[in-house]
Structure 1
Amino acid sequence: MAQKQPAGVVLVGLNGFGRQHLINIERLVALGKMRLLAGVDFNDPGPEVRGADTPVFTSLDEVADAGLRPDVVIVSTPINTHYDLALRALEFGADLYLEKPPTATLEQYTALLAAADAAGARVQVGFQSIGSHALDEIAEILSPADGSEGPIGTLRSVGASGNWIRTRSYYDRAPWAGHRVLNGVQVVDGVATNPLAHAVQTALHIAGAKAADDVAELATELHHAHRIEADDTTTIRLKTTAGVDVTCALTVCAVETNDPWITIYGTEGEAVLYYTRDELVITPNPDAPAAGRGGRTTFGRTNLLENLIDVRAGAADALLSPLASTGAFMRVLEAIRTADAPAQIRPEHVTFEGEGDDEHPVVPHIDQLIDRAVKGTTTFSSLGAPWAAPPASSGTLAVTPAGSALPVRIADLRTGKDISATNGPRPFLDRVRTLSGVVVTDQQPLDHTWHLGVSVALQDVDGCNFWGGRTFTRDAGRYVWRADHGRIRTVSESVIDDADEAGTCGQRLRARLEWVGHDGAALLAEDRQVRTRYVRDGGAAGWELDVDFSLTPAVDRPVSLGSPGSNGRAGGGYGGFFWRLPAIADADIFTADAAGEEAVHGTVSDWLAVTADFDSNDGHPLAGTSAEPEAGSGRGPATLVFVSADADPWFVRCAGYPGVGASLAWDAPVIAEPGVPVRRRVRTLVLDGRYDREEIERLLAAAPARTAGSAASPATAASTR
């Protein structure tokens, strides 16, 4: 029997990435797996590039007229040409290797998929990273063949991070580069659909999102700093039908180019895939009962063109990147294509480096924003990037100093609607600052993405987690990931000006909130009052934040309010009022009777002070960047004095991360009875500069607590414990 002839191949597109195909084809020809029949390009790169014996045509029609009948057609041309060329290639009866993305619209993709099925043709899409053998290892650690739990547990979410640089010459290299539409033709050349498309597709593949209907929810946020039409700095958030979150945060406006990576978050650890070098790093949770294997491994990769040739020859079972497995990616592309035009990042938020063709924009702090977006499954706008759309907000709070006609904005009212479900969505105060603009809060930090400025939250309300993150359970004796996250939503809210007897003006917020459990049923009703007022005593000038809240069962039965501490974690009784601080340096933490984190943590006292240098740009990259000219640097010395008449211990963290809370359920649950609210009140003095104990005691003595109208007396507070 005659030996089967190697597959005849036609390469459409001999320049650009086509030159990489020519190198690969030369390798496969040497292995006897294929023959290069011809090339197709309007611009012949010459015999030294495409080979002296390779005929070059300007169209596939010319290839047909020459009597050539390829077995495989490779399409390596601009995105907008893929669809028509692919259909023409199918008319040859050929299999197809199609560069990414497969088409420029979802409609074209659906039509091409049907045409390929009708022709019985194999179509491989050139997402080269899908050939990585690391993906087989990831599949094994997520679903071991023996049915056990792998080293990082069950898959929770996947993130794609991309920090690249693209210069002016990159977008000048072709008329279509950087366009969404060119002369009425769809191009869709954005950061997620072209340079970092492999990151998106790899993340989707790991999350199990392959077909178009594997995507349940999808949202994009598009920006650009380059002088282009398309997006170059983007976040994509989607949820698969299996409930896995996928977040992509990508830019080509970084300080420096780094290898992009995919983070796989499990219930018992995480893994990171550097897909350009096929390197996988597995990091199990050290506190897991049987921490699995970890370490760093570099894997091999199967070339996708070779895989197609091998499948044709019967030497491989299936295509690694078939057209049908790119439907979820095409859903992303379609969302980007049909979205509003990307927002231009304003010049004041961009710096330019390099000269001439090497010039490129840099978005300050973009690497830190990408890290936070991926880990927090969030967006640039939710993180407060000054060049992004405003986050979900209901307004601001302000105070008007004595003698001034102009109010000073001192906090943003965030609704929490844009917070990930596993981060305990809830209303919170964001970018709280001193009168001079020093930012004294952080939100969605890398160490605890569920820490949200100044908020009220609890980790255990009848078994429902309103705090976010992992849940500490008595049965496990540790923190575990559970599908138990609730959300706090605003039912009604009003803000009015609130003048005091001294003639200064603050504001009063009244809100009715509902605590909705993970099953969609309301557990608690909350009445919250927040007041701001200007404070001045001698040389001290600042303002006071007065937070007063009451929790009442929304069901006709008692509701248990608990914490990790009430569930057995010693010293972990956080919950209730909590203030997440940004990075602080040279911090002093003290009460009237104790000093230092360890000495103060868990004590009950009338007040607690934190005085420090608020180095906010390190803790939150945006604290010192604002569209408000008067905002200043966001950094500097400041003092916070927390005052409470309730008999709740203070929860204090500084060394690991900075935060202060008043613990509602320190080591035992508090039971909220129907019709009998559990009430708490914390007042906080927000002061520029550093204050010592003597100065604080004098200031507090001169400014006694006002009656807020719903504050619990110490006796009442104690009775609810």
Structure 2
Amino acid sequence: MKPVRVVLAGAHGHGWWHLSNVRRLTEAGLVELVGVCDVRPVDDLPAGVEFSGDLAGLIWRTSAEVTILCTPIHTHAELAERALRAGSHVLLEKPPAATYADYERIAAVVAETGLACQVGFQSLGSAAIPAIRRMVAEGAIGRVTGIGAAGAWERPYTYYSRVPWAGRREVDGVPVVDGALTNPLAHATATALAISGAEVGDVEVELYRANAIEADDTSSVRMRMDDGTVVTVAVSLCADRRHEPYLIVHGEEGRIRLTYTEDRVEFDGTSAVHPRTDLLENLVAHLRDGTELLVPLERTRGFMRVLEAVRLAPEPTAIPDVFQEVGAERRVLPRIAEVTASSAERLALYSELRVPWSGRLRRAGGAGAGRTVPGPGDGARRPLRGDALRPVLVAHGRQVAEYVVAPELPPTSSPRPYLHPVRTLGGTTVTEVAPEDHVHHLGVSIAISDLGGGNFWGGRTYVRDAGPTWLGDHGTQRHLGFSWRDSSGFGESLAWEGPDGVETAREARSVRVVELGGCWALDMSFELTNLTGEPLPVRSSATKGRAGAGYGGFFWRAPGTAAGRQVFTADAEGEDAVHGSTAPWLAMASADWTLVFVQRDDPWFVRIVEYPGAGPALAWDTPLLIEGTLRRRIVTVVADGRLDPGDAAALAAEVAR
């Protein structure tokens, strides 16, 4: 067969690699370079190769069958359309486009012309990816629980001055999105998504920069796939040296490691290097023999969702010089390779790893962080502002609660999301966080004193015949993403991780505001799914011998002292009378506010004398075993002033309907 006629657009920079590759394939008789398009002259072109700045005209004159596009990111959509409409198939350098809209523009032209568009994610040409997918399908590591990717490279200052668009988010108002996640280390995300094979759902992004650039040079992202799998990527261009990027596929029964730049797969003590197919060769085989494309444009849709999340995120947070080694040639973040490795191990964002330069992110309420929630079919996506880290709930037009997604807490407090402050419509705060008597009490939260041996309540653990004891057994509830979110509430996914960092359970949480006449209610439900493969016990201190200490589950810590406070049900009053009761509702009241808790599943745990707090007890005096999924719901009326039992009962009946 005659060689495929090829035009290269963009011969400088990475274009030199493509020139070299074309020469190799020319010697093999597969292709013929017939033209080069660039805005700058190119030296030493082979005889007979036409040079032009007009891409469409060059394609027409040379009858080029394939155009290799290796031009600035923000020119991809325009030039890809020109090449396709001129009748040429395209090998498009990654990332495919600078915006999701531009990606869809290219996709529309591909569909209209029927021509091929292969995207230059070279790692996706590796046979390692289908090999790993086969291993997973055959059950080599059991159910996949997540995929983590890590990459740490070094880049000098000159890297960002080599071209006008390097390290830029925009050029003259046109999106570029040339950050660590989306360009130099984009293969980490693309490869992880290829191994997952699922569609991208929620995307959480954290962007930082050590260099004086617009875009990110150090970033982490977490994707929630539509099959429930979590995928994280942590990358940086501020390492002390190049560390080969890799992925870890976590399973319930093992793990697989892929060093994608080497096509090396490690599993169960073995190591194998897989072959890689050159993407231009694959495109040629597609045109000549009908071979399936390895990286058709459609396969990069998930990556473009992630790029769009990065584009819509707030500007990267600047990392102070005190956390860097600032040299004459480049900046280094000490131990950043270890941090990215920890992210891949724990499937965590930088802020969740307590990296010192990321601490301000959470305290500042989200500077440098962004999320997007892709809509069905990809069209409209809703960008979430920095306050996604602290959603605000509204009732009757007033802010009544804030949700702290990832608080800065010591491990001994069993870090977890919580609601605080929660207010009445009149503005009175009815929650308290980290009071001196119990610093691990956190407003309104879901907390269990012993879940499979992990302390998800905080503080000391009760040990039979020994009493409260510090055991270092504290777990963490880690936010994975919002399935929906607006001022009326949200749906959230959380990982319950034990003291060893292993995920014990996965929670789906729902929080909604219910507007009532003159007051409002908090409707909170959760589904806790056991991931251990064996019955997962829920225990309380009472199940271990401490009588009456059946706390665990939904818990509301109210503010202040017990003075003037009362607690009652429809037919009983006082802590001794209602503690352990199974009444359908329970009210806690003061002169300024009343809380009416409504649920029918568990006995009530109540404190009013030592401190004010209440909630249903999952394991009142005997352990509760979770074999599949535990489901609970509680609705809490939040009212101004002191309600009498009759008014409380009426409101309880209203929200119970």
Does 2:69 correspond to 1:166?
no
2:171 maps to 1:196: no
In the alignment, does 2:246 pair up with 1:257? no
Query: Which residue of 341, 347, 372 maps to 1:371?
Result: 341
Q: Does 1:243 align with 2:202?
A: no
CA shift, 1:675, in A, is 4.8
Whether contact under 8 Å (1:9, 1:73) holds in the other structure is yes
CA distance in structure 2 between the aligned counterparts of 1:193 and 1:563, rounded to whole angstroms: 39
The residue that corresponds to 2:325 in the other structure is 351
Question: Share of identical aligned residues, percent?
Answer: 33
Tell me the equivalent position of 1:342.
Answer: 316
| Residue identity in the other structure for 1:345 | I
Distance (whole Å) between structure 2 residues aligned to residue 394 and residue 350 of structure 1? 21
8 Å CA contact retained: 2:5, 2:65: yes
User: Are the structure 2 counterparts of residues 607 and 202 from structure 1 closer, same or farther at C-alpha, using a change threshold of 3 Å?
Assistant: closer
- Give the aligned residue type for 1:530: P
Give the one of 280, 288, 305 matched to 2:265: 280
Q: Partner amino acid for 1:364?
A: P
Q: Does 1:664 find its partner at 2:536?
A: no
Shift of 1:249: 0.9
SS of the counterpart of 1:368? helix
Conserved? CA contact 1:551–1:672, under 8 Å? no
Within the candidate set 41, 49, 53, 1:54 is matched to 49
- Is 1:9 the counterpart of 2:3? The answer is no
Q: Which amino acid aligns with 2:351?
A: S
Cα distance between partner residues in 2 of 1:235 and 1:307: 32
- AA in 2 matched with 1:239: R
Query: Are residue 676 (structure 1) and residue 579 (structure 2) matched?
Result: yes
Distance 1:277 1:36 in 2: 29
CA distance in 1, matches of 2:33, 2:621: 85
Root-mean-square deviation over aligned CA pairs: 4.2
- C-alpha contact (below 8 Å) 2:148/2:192 kept by paired residues: yes
Whole-Å separation in 1 of the counterparts to 2:445 and 2:174 = 59
- Measure the CA separation in 2 of the matches of 1:653 and 1:91: 58
Q: Does 1:332 align with 2:314?
A: no
Q: Equivalents in 2 of 1:269, 1:238: separation in Å?
A: 21
Contact 2:89-2:116 at 8 Å conserved across structures: yes
Inter-partner Cα distance in structure 2 for 1:177 and 1:363: 20
SS at match of 2:123: helix
Give matches, 1:166-565, under 5 Å.
166-209=155-198, 214-283=199-268, 295-314=270-289, 317-353=291-327, 355=328, 359-388=329-358, 390=360, 430=408, 441=410, 452-455=411-414, 489-490=418-419, 511=431, 530-531=435-436, 563-564=451-452
Structure 1 CA distance, aligned partners of 2:317 and 2:444? 41
Instruction: Identify if the C-alpha distance between structure 1 residues 347 and 675 changes in structure 2 by more than 3 Å, giving closer, same or farther.
Output: same
Q: Secondary structure at the match of 1:39?
A: strand
Separation in structure 1 between the aligned mates of residue 90 and residue 545 of structure 2, nearest angstrom:
66
Residues 720 and 158 (structure 1 numbering): CA distance in 2 closer, same or farther, change over 3 Å?
closer
Residue in 2 that maps onto 1:631: none
For residue 107 of structure 1, report the CA deviation from its aligned partner.
0.8
Instruction: Give the secondary structure class of the aligned counterpart of 1:387.
Output: helix
Name the counterpart of 1:504. none
Counterpart residue type for residue 385 of structure 1: V
CA-to-aligned-CA distance 1:341-382 (integer Å, 9 cap, x gap): 2121122222213x3xxx111123423332333333332223
Partner deviation per Cα, 1:296-326 (whole Å, 9 max, x = no partner): 1111101111000001111x53100000111
CA offset at residue 91 of structure 1?
A: 2.2
* Residues in 1 aligned to 2:238 and 2:213: alpha-carbon distance in whole angstroms: 13
Paired position in structure 1 for 2:19 = 22
**386 and 549 in structure 1: CA distance in 2 versus 1, 3 angstrom threshold:** closer
Q: 1:587-602 counterparts in 2 under 5 A?
A: none
For the residue of structure 2 that corresponds to 1:311, the secondary structure is helix
Matched position secondary structure for 1:341: coil
Q: Distance in 1 between matches of 2:612 and 2:622?
A: 15
CA displacement, residues 278-302 of structure 1 (integer Å, 9 cap, x when unaligned): 001124xxxxxxxxxx521111101
| Structure 1 residues 611-690: aligned runs within 5 Å | 664=541, 672=550, 675-677=578-580
Structure 2 residue 74 is matched with structure 1 residue 85: no
Structure 1 unmatched ranges of 5 or more:
145-149, 284-293, 396-414, 419-424, 432-440, 442-451, 457-486, 495-508, 513-527, 533-544, 555-559, 565-572, 581-599, 612-651, 657-661, 679-706, 712-716
Partner of 2:597: none
Question: Which residue number corresponds to residue 619 of structure 1?
Answer: none
Deviations 1:58-104 (A, max 9, x none): 22144157x21101111111111211111111122111100001111
Tell me what 2:143 maps to.
Answer: 154
Q: Is 2:146–2:230's contact at 8 Å kept on the other side of the alignment?
A: yes
Q: Counterpart of 1:246 in 2: which secondary structure?
A: strand
Q: Deviations over 1:585-635 (max 9, x none)?
A: xxxxxxxxxxxxxxx996743676899xxxxxxxxxxxxxxxxxxxxxxxx
Distance 1:675 1:319, change over 3 A: farther
- Structure-2 change in CA distance of 1:529 and 1:237 (3 Å): closer
1:57 Cα deviation after fit: 1.9
- What is the rounded CA distance, in whole Å, between the counterparts of 2:253 and 2:296 in structure 1? 32
Q: How many Å separate the matches in 1 of 2:445 and 2:306?
A: 43
Task: Report the alpha carbon displacement of residue 394 of structure 1 after superposing the two structures with TM.
Answer: 11
Q: Structure 1 residues 709, 383: closer, same or farther in 2, change over 3 A? A: same
Residue 127 of structure 2 corresponds to residue 142 of structure 1? no
Q: Does the aligned pair in 1 maintain the 2:169–2:176 contact within 8 Å?
A: yes
Q: Is the 8 A contact 1:9 1:38 kept in 2?
A: yes
* Residue 151 to residue 552, structure 1, CA distance change in 2 (3 Å): closer
State the shift of 1:197 in Å.
0.7
Deviation at 1:426, TM superposition (A): 9.7
Query: CA, structure 1 residues 100+529, in 2 after alignment: closer, same or farther (shift >3 Å)?
Result: closer
> TM-score under structure 1 normalisation?
0.57
Give the length in aligned residue pairs.
Answer: 466
CA distance in structure 2 between the aligned counterparts of 1:264 and 1:191, rounded to whole angstroms: 22
Matched-pair contact (CA < 8 Å) for 1:575–1:665: no
Q: Contact 1:271 / 1:280 at 8 angstroms: preserved in 2?
A: yes
Q: 1:99 aligns with which of 93, 113, 120?
A: 93
Contact 1:346 1:387 in 2 (8 A): yes
Shift of the 718–335 alpha-carbon distance from structure 1 to 2, 3 Å rule, reads closer
Q: Aligned partners of 1:245, 1:325: CA distance in 2, in Å?
A: 19
Which AA in structure 1 matches 2:435? Answer: V
CA distance in 2, matches of 1:180, 1:529: 40
Question: How far is 1:720 from its partner?
Answer: 8.1
Distance of 1:548 and 1:601 partners within structure 2: 16
Q: Which residue pairs with 2:121 in the alignment? A: 127
Tell me the TM-score normalised to structure 2 length: 0.62
Gaps of 5+ in 2: 366-387, 392-402, 424-428, 473-497, 503-538, 552-576, 582-608, 614-618, 624-657
3-state SS, counterpart of residue 97 of structure 2: coil
Cα shift readout 1:390-409 (whole Å, capped 9, x = no counterpart):
465699xxxxxxxxxxxxxx
Q: Is the 8 A contact 2:434 2:442 kept in 1?
A: yes
Partners of 2:25 and 2:99 lie apart in 1 by 32
Amino acid at match of 2:7: V
Which letter does structure 2 place at the counterpart of 1:119? T
SS at 1:117's partner residue?
helix
CA distance in 2, matches of 1:64, 1:576: 64
- Kindly indicate whether the alpha-carbon contact (under 8 Å) linking 2:56 and 2:86 is maintained by their aligned counterparts in 1: no
- How far apart, CA to CA, are the structure 1 residues paired with 2:101 and 2:207? 22
Aligned mates of 1:339, 1:51 — CA distance in 2 = 45
Whether the 8 Å CA contact 1:272–1:280 is kept in 2: the answer is: yes
